[in-house]
């Protein structure tokens, strides 16, 4: 069994966050010891890691609670849970696409500064540089 402090350290979240998740109904499975402190099993830790993953990828607490509630209802809710995960995966892929577009803009800005640093006599016209290099927009990154 794990303490709340151990879970916080393992998951790199605050004790306050764990208490908040519990208060919001995301941890209905967590038990308490004889002194009233939360105690977490290995399975609880796995669920908290999943909650952190979902939260870190943009799922709202309300949606996570809906998912956890379905989990607590048992096997009959597997299709609904799968759909929640499939929908969330689509949202993550959209985020990735948006980030790729954003990194292209940042890359252009870095390239402009590199060009200017290498040849300051060419002048400082970031707008012209971006327009000249718009066609060279890189769409993939490693």
pLDDT given at position 140: 47
pLDDT for residue 37: 92
Residue 90: phi and psi, rounded to 5, are -60, -40
pTM of the model: 0.77
Q: Could you tell me which residue, 121 or 71, shows the higher pLDDT?
A: 71
Mode of pairing for the β-strands spanning 31-32 and 38-39: antiparallel
Looking at residue 136, its pLDDT comes to: 57
Report the mean per-residue pLDDT for the chain. 89
User: Which of 24-28, 32-36, 112-116, 124-128 has the lowest average pLDDT?
Assistant: 124-128
- Helix ranges, the chain (H): 4-11, 15-23, 42-56, 61-73, 78-118, 126-132
Q: pLDDT by residue (tens digit) across 95-107? A: 999 999 999 989 9
Residue 31 has pLDDT above 70, yes or no: yes
What pLDDT, on a 0 to 100 scale, did the predictor assign at position 43? 94
Confidence tier at 111 by pLDDT (50, 70, 90)? confident
Rounded to whole angstroms, what are the CA distances from 41 to 61, 72, 101? 22, 16, 41
The pLDDT of residue 142: 47
């Amino acid at each position: 069994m794990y303490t709340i402090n151990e879970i916080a350290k393992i998951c790199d979240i605050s004790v306050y966050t764990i208490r908040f998740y519990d208060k919001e109904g995301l941890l209905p499975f967590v038990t308490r010891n004889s002194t009233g402190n939360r105690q977490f099993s290995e399975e609880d830790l796995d669920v908290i890691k999943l909650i952190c993953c979902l939260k870190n990828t943009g799922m709202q607490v309300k949606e996570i609670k809906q998912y956890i509630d379905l989990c607590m209802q048992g096997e009959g809710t597997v299709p609904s849970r799968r759909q929640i995960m499939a929908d969330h995966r689509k949202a993550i892929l959209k985020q990735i696409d948006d980030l790729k577009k954003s990194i292209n803009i940042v890359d252009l800005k870095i390239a402009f500064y590199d060009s200017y640093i290498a040849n300051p006599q060419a002048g400082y016209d970031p707008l012209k540089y971006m327009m000249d290099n718009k066609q060279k927009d890189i769409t993939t990154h490693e």
